[in-house]
Amino acid sequence: MADDETTLTVAISSRALFDLDESNDLYEREGLEAYRRYQIQHEDVVLEPGEALSMVKKLLNINDLLGKRRVEIILLSRNSADTGLRIFNSIKANELDITRAAFCGGESPYRYVRAFGCSLFLSTHAEDVGHALEHGVAAATLIGTPAGEPRNPSADLRLAFDGDSVLFSDEAEQVYQSQGLAAFSEKEAQAAGRPLEGGPFKPFLSALHGLQREFGEQQCPIRTALVTARSAPAHERVIRTLRAWDIRLDESLFLGGMDKTEFLRAFGADVFFDDQSLHCERAKDHVTTGHVPHGIANQR
């Protein structure tokens, strides 16, 4: 199989990769031309880390560990190529192997996500994320403050996922929202032998699992966790679904409605993906959080 058939391709917006808040504030106050002048004047000043930088470094490290290119990072930016020179200079200063980019001059870059063959799109712009999800690509809006020091300083990449509306469809969540917990638990117990449909992050999880398999008996630098509000008896359908998909998660936490934050900290998540805004708001000051605006919870 050719390399490009097994490459995991992740698209990152410039504001997710680096802290551009200061210059963005200038843009909001004084407009595009002032922003352009500022970035040109500061193009040799390395940008501070954004929320996604630590994750990107760990993803690219997988290539070094495997000795072959299995992960590619694509930069997608609303900047112009002119103002984007500072971003590429910062990429070089951080020794990131990122060579492909789309600078869209103020327009949304989401339309290039599928053209680059991306499995995941991370941005700080919720509208772009929503468009990517509508076009069948896993996507999340990163929220919180710029990362600074990595929150998980180990070399391992640790990713945590909510279940319903993220890894799985929102079929069960619709029952919960419309009929309550008792009906949800009863219907999930009845449907335990019928696998759930995949959610927007199923293909990305599958691609991660493929990378994990490439490490064979070696210690794998990727660790995944399901962190869900489900509890018994609703756990069985989830377990059987993952078996049917032939996808393994390293850890599965069935919390029965408990706050997820401390569990995410204990797991050491680099990024946590959840469709519920409340869970994201609770976790964002402790764990880099990606809001997935998908499913019934985001239609109200």
pLDDT at 145: 59
DSSP secondary-structure letter at 277?
H
Give pLDDT tens digits for 41-94: 889 999 999 989 999 999 999 999 999 999 999 999 888 888 889 999 999 999
Which residues are within 8 A (CB) of 161 and not within 5 positions of it... i.e. 6 or more apart?
167, 201, 205, 224, 225, 226, 227, 249, 272, 273, 274
pLDDT of 273 higher than 60: yes
The β-bridge partners of 101 are 75
User: How many Å apart are CA 272 and CA 225, to the nearest integer?
Assistant: 9
Q: What average pLDDT does range 11-33 have in this prediction?
A: 85
Q: Which residue has the tokens 């399901």?
A: 226
% the chain with pLDDT above 70 = 94
Highest mean pLDDT among 15-24, 58-67, 105-114, 167-176: 58-67
Stretch (H or E) spanning 186: helix 181-190
Give pLDDT tens digits for 151-204: 667 789 999 999 999 999 998 888 888 888 888 888 888 888 899 999 999 999
Question: Which among 19, 128, 162, 170 is annotated as catalytic?
Answer: 162
37: region left, alpha or beta (phi > 0 left; psi from -120 to 50 alpha): alpha
User: What residues does CATH 3.40.50.1000 cover in the chain?
Assistant: 157-298
User: How many Å apart are CA 31 and CA 24, to the nearest integer?
Assistant: 9
**Is the whole model's pTM more than 0.75, yes or no?**
yes
pLDDT of 3 higher than 50: no
Query: Dihedral angle at the C-alpha atoms of 272, 170, 199, 244, nearest 10 degrees?
Result: 110
Q: What average pLDDT does range 113-117 have in this prediction?
A: 93
Which residues are within 8 A (CB) of 86 and not within 5 positions of it... i.e. 6 or more apart?
39, 40, 42, 43, 44, 45, 47
Q: What average pLDDT does range 87-103 have in this prediction?
A: 95
Q: What is the mean pLDDT of the chain?
A: 89
Of 269 and 30, the one with more pLDDT = 269
Q: What average pLDDT does range 260-284 have in this prediction?
A: 94
Residue 201 Cα distances to 87, 127, 159, 222, angstroms: 28, 18, 12, 16
pLDDT tier, 2 (very low <50, low <70, confident <90, very high otherwise)? very low
pLDDT at 23: 80
Of 22 and 68, the one with more pLDDT = 68
Query: Is 162 an annotated catalytic residue?
Result: yes
Of 90 and 232, the one with more pLDDT = 90
User: How many Å apart are CA 253 and CA 263, to the nearest integer?
Assistant: 8
Angle at 181 between CA 177 and CA 184, to 5 degrees: 80
Q: In the CATH hierarchy, which top-level class contains the domain 3-141? A: alpha beta
pLDDT of 216 higher than 70: yes
CATH numeric code, 157-298: 3.40.50.1000
% the chain with pLDDT above 90 = 62
pLDDT of 1 higher than 70: no
Of 280 and 30, the one with more pLDDT = 280
Cβ proximity of 198 and 206 under 8 Å: no
User: How many Å apart are CA 188 and CA 237, to the nearest integer?
Assistant: 7
Handedness of CA 119, 124, 130, 135 (dihedral sign): negative
pLDDT tier, 4 (very low <50, low <70, confident <90, very high otherwise)? very low
